[in-house]
Amino acid sequence: MPPAPSPLAIGHGDPPGGPGIAPWQDADRLRPGMMAMLLMLLPLFGQTFHYMKDLLPLWALSKAFPVLSLPLALVLLRRPRLPMARQIMATFLWLVLVPSFAASFTFGQDFFTGITAQVKLLPMLYFFSFSGLLMIARPSLRELAAGFLICGIATYAALIILWAIIPDAWYSKVYAFGSSPLFSADNRGNRIRMPMFFGIITLFYCYRRFLGSGSLRWLAGAAAGLCLTLFVVKTRAMVVGIAGVVVINSFAAAGALVRVGLLFVAPAALVGLFSIGYLNTMFSSDSSTGFDVRWKTVTKAVGFLGTDPFKWLMGVGTISPTSSDSLFSYFDHFFFLADITWLGIVFEFGLIGAILLVLYEIRGLLLFRRIREATGHSPFLGSLCDYLLYVLLISNLYPPTLTPGETAIIAAIFVFVLQNLPTSVLPDRES
């Protein structure tokens, strides 16, 4: 009798000799029904439309989707507890309940109103609902990779088309508080504020394929993605994160002699990159960059926390958007917690909450390390790990509380892969 097929097989995009994971069916086959489902649901789980109010039906669906998708998590009740499940649930409950309770004392709003201020954290629950979906649908790793990469290519294609056809009059130079227009214009020029979760993962995937194969077509793909991000999206945080991950991966893949060369080349390349156009204003204190507003927010936040260690440790919460009051009126200033990133997180969630958020990202990196130790190199899984590193690198410019669902579904994929590897190839781990 021939042996049963192993759940380990060469996956999509793996170099010869490098095992990937393609459980349960032929690794070379993409099932049309599975791909249709993934392409329909991945943008929702990836929070693609979460801040795109211009597309009102999709925006509303994205806001409701963390709750609408929760029934998928019911399948987990019949399975062994997932790695990271307790950590995510504890983190979610702490970040929702403690600031809501604190805000009832700090800002005089009732507890349940305070909870409505934390709806931005609901996508953390995608870890459970997306895990349930993976267990029910059982896609192969190649199908997951294809779904992510198709969404990424579609993102870049949409950027090119929109950049080519949208007239200047459509770019908003002034927009209302709380709005996030897809087309905007500021000191950086015309911008398309496209959600880039899938696009950036595709860029990292191309660069990993280039490092593994040396093929220039993969380098060209990564370069095209970087250029579109740099000259069309024009978000400084994205460029910083992409550059950081590329440098780190280049060092990791290089031999000893090449690393010495990179020590000289990389700093010069980064200096050159951040001398281009709008990027050279990143460290500017000019009022056109909004530095004065952010600095005033910093001083007001630090002054409000004062010398009370309890406020610094536990946070003071925030004022709910459903309240008649606002942080603007309370501080008599354009007070954006997102503008001051980690200080804003400490203000709202405390140092404990900030540490929980960092551990949330780091645990995903550790899950990937276990997979890599067990199976070797997979460019797709590596690109997901790169994205977690990217989130940490840009966290001082773009707070991770704005899109926690991205990390949640990456962690769910890592757990799904770990759960379907033979126990004989897994390193020792705690449950």
Report whether pLDDT(119) > 60. yes
User: What is the pTM for the complete model shown?
Assistant: 0.90
Neighbours of 135 (CB within 10 A): 19
Task: Output the pLDDT for position 61.
Answer: 96
Q: What is the pLDDT of residue 325?
A: 80
- What is the reported pLDDT for 110? 86
Lowest mean pLDDT among 62-71, 264-273, 386-395: 264-273
Residue 129 scores a pLDDT above 90: yes
109 has pLDDT over 90: no
Give the mean pLDDT of the chain. Answer: 86
CA distance 122 to 130: 13
Return left, alpha or beta for 429; rule: phi > 0 is left, psi -120 to 50 is alpha, else beta. beta
- pLDDT confidence band for 382 (50 / 70 / 90): very high
- The lowest-confidence range among 39-48, 122-131, 276-285 is 276-285
pLDDT digits (tens, 9 = 90+) for 187-237: 888 999 999 999 999 999 999 999 999 899 999 999 999 999 999 999 989
Instruction: Provide the pLDDT for residue 172.
Output: 86
Q: How many CB atoms lie within 10 A of CB 75?
A: 16
What one-letter code names the amino acid at 342? W
**Is 300 part of a structural domain of the chain?**
yes
pLDDT of residue 246: 95
pLDDT in tens, 278-332: 777 766 666 656 677 888 889 999 998 999 999 999 999 998 888 778 787 777 7
Tell which residue, 156, 161, 254, 255, has the closest CA to residue 206.
Answer: 156
pLDDT: which is higher, 262 or 37: 37
The answer as to whether 369 is a domain residue is: yes
In a domain, residue 373? The reply is yes
Q: Is residue 65 part of a domain?
A: no
Instruction: Quick: pLDDT tens for 90-100.
Output: 999 999 999 99
Number of domains in the chain: 1
For 2, half-sphere exposure in the C-beta direction (CA atoms, 13 angstrom radius) is 3
* pLDDT at 256 > cutoff 90: no
Work out the pLDDT band at 274, boundaries 50, 70, 90. confident
Indicate whether 328 belongs to any domain.
Answer: yes
Q: Is residue 337 part of a domain?
A: yes
| Integer Cα distance of 333 and 327 in angstroms | 8
Q: How far apart are CA 209 and CA 203, in angstroms?
A: 10
Strand duo 20-21 + 8-9: pairing: antiparallel
pLDDT at 282: 67
Residue 33 lies in a domain: no
Distance of CA 259 to the CA centre of its chain: 29
Q: Of 344, 317, 334, which is closest to residue 399 (Cα–Cα)?
A: 344
Q: Of how many residues is the chain composed?
A: 431
Grade residue 179 by pLDDT with cuts at 50, 70 and 90.
Answer: low
pLDDT of residue 285: 60
- Is residue 180 domain-resident? no
What the block records as the tokens of 196 is 């880039």
The answer to whether 139 touches 38, Cβ cutoff 8 Å, is yes
More confident residue, 320 or 132: 132
**Domain range for residue 395?**
87-117+286-402+412-421
Check whether 431 has a pLDDT greater than 90.
Answer: no
Mark 346-368 as b/e (b = at least 16 C-beta within 10 Å).
Answer: bbbbbebbbebbeebbebbbebb
For residue 429, pLDDT beyond 60: no
With a cut of 90, say whether residue 74 has pLDDT above it.
yes
